[in-house]
Amino acid sequence: MSENEKIDISIVVPLYNEDESLPELHDWIVKVMTENAFTYEIVFVNDGSTDQSWECIEKLQEKNTFVRGIKFQRNYGKSAALHVGFQTTKGDVVITMDADLQDSPDEIPELYRMITEDKFDLVSGWKKKRYDPLSKTIPTKIYNGVNRMMSGIKLHDMNCGLKAYRKEVVKSIEIFGEMHRYIPVIAKAAGFGKIGEKVVIHQERKYGVTKFGLNRFVNGFLDMFTITFITRFGKKPMHFFGLIGSLFFFLGVCLTIWLGIFKLFIDTDSRLIADRAEFYLALTFMILGTQLFLAGFIAELIGRNSTTRNNYLIEKEI
C-alpha cells in the first residue's frame, strides 16, 4: 500500500494475550474486506501481552502488508491501546473490535454503510443476545441503564467493543484512564452528536479466558461520575463548586440568623446559642460552603494556565 493511497476502513484491534485467536480473526477480516472490495488496514495494538501475541502479529504482517502492529512495553489498558491506535489510523472510517473473536467482522460492511451513507458520526454495536453468565449480564444492564439516564445517549450497550467512527471523531477525542467505556459520551461532548446503534452478533469466547472481572463495574460507575463532571464542567469548574458552595454557605447563614432571632425573641432563657446543635450545623454549612467555593476558584485559576483551555474543534472555515 502506497503512502497516499486512499483507505476506506481502518480496523483497530486492542489485545492482551490473544495469540490463539489472532490468526483466525485476521483471516476473517481479510475475507470480509476482499468480498466487499474495501481498501483497508488492520492495526493490532499489543497491550503488553506476555504470550506469543507479538510474534503472531509479526508473522501476519509478513504475509499481509495491510497489517500494522504497535507493541506497548507493558500493560497500560484498553483506553491507552485505543488512543494510540486512533492516532495512527488513516482510513475514512475507523472500526474497533476485540481480539477474542466475540465480535464478528461480518458486521463491518453494514457499520461502514451507516457511517458513509446514513452519515452517523459514531455507531455502537448492541449485543442484544449475549453468551455471558448472569454475573456479567445483570450488572451490565444496570450499568447501561444508569449511563443512558446520566448521559442522555440512548444506547443499550455503551461498552460494546464493536464500534464504527468517522475519521474526524477519533482524531478529535482523547481517551485516557479507563474512559474507553464512555467514548460515545466523549464524542458527544466534542460535538459529534449523531450517534447510532446496530444490533450485532455476540459469539462465545473460543480461546482463552476473559480479562475483565467484577471490579470493572465498580470502576465503571466511578468513571461515569468522572466523565460526567469533565464533559459538563471541565471548562467551568466554578459553575459546579461555586454553586454548591454558595448554597451551603447560604444555608449556614440563614440558620445562623434564625438562631439569633429565636434567641432574642422566643427562647430568652440563659441557654447560649453555642450550646445548641443547630449552631454547629450552621457552622459546618458555612465552612463547607467556603471550602467548595475556594475549590472552584482554584480550579478556575488552574484552568486558565492550561495549554488546552482554548482548544476548540473547528468543523469548517471559508
Domain boundaries, the chain: 9-233, 238-304
User: Mean pLDDT across the stretch 189-207?
Assistant: 85
* Lateral strand order in the sheet of 195-199: 67-71, 40-46, 9-15, 93-96, 163-166, 122-126, 195-199
Report how far residue 163's alpha carbon sits from residue 292's, in angstroms, rounded to the nearest whole number: 39
Which tops the pLDDT comparison, 137 or 97? 97
Query: Distance between CA 159 and CA 74 in Å, rounded?
Result: 23
Q: Would the pLDDT of 313 be above 60? A: no
> Per residue in 121-135, pLDDT tens?
999 998 887 766 666
Q: What is the mean pLDDT of the chain?
A: 84
What does the pLDDT read at residue 298? Answer: 86
Grid coordinates in use for 20? 490463539
Superfamily of domain 9-233: Spore Coat Polysaccharide Biosynthesis Protein SpsA; Chain A (3.90.550.10)
> Given this model, what pLDDT does residue 44 score?
96
pLDDT tens-digit readout, 136-181: 666 677 777 777 777 778 888 888 889 999 999 999 888 877 788 8
Q: Express the helix, strand and coil content of the chain in percent, nearest 5 each.
A: 50, 10, 35
Question: What's the pTM value of the predicted model, to 2 decimals?
Answer: 0.74
* Confidence at residue 302, expressed as pLDDT on a 0 to 100 scale: 78
Distance CA(221)–CA(258), nearest Å, equals 40
Higher pLDDT, 309 or 156: 156
| Segment 54-88, tens digit of pLDDT | 999 999 999 999 999 999 999 888 989 999 999 99
**How does pLDDT run across 7-41, given as a tens digit for each residue?**
999 999 999 999 999 999 999 999 999 999 999 99
- All three cell numbers of 313, joined, read 474543534
pLDDT at 64: 93
Q: Is 48 exposed, middle or buried (0-12, 13-18, 19+ CB in 10 A)?
A: middle
What is the 3 state secondary structure string of 70-122?
A: EECCCCCCHHHHHHHHHHHCCCCEEEECCCCCCECHHHHHHHHHHHHCCCCCE
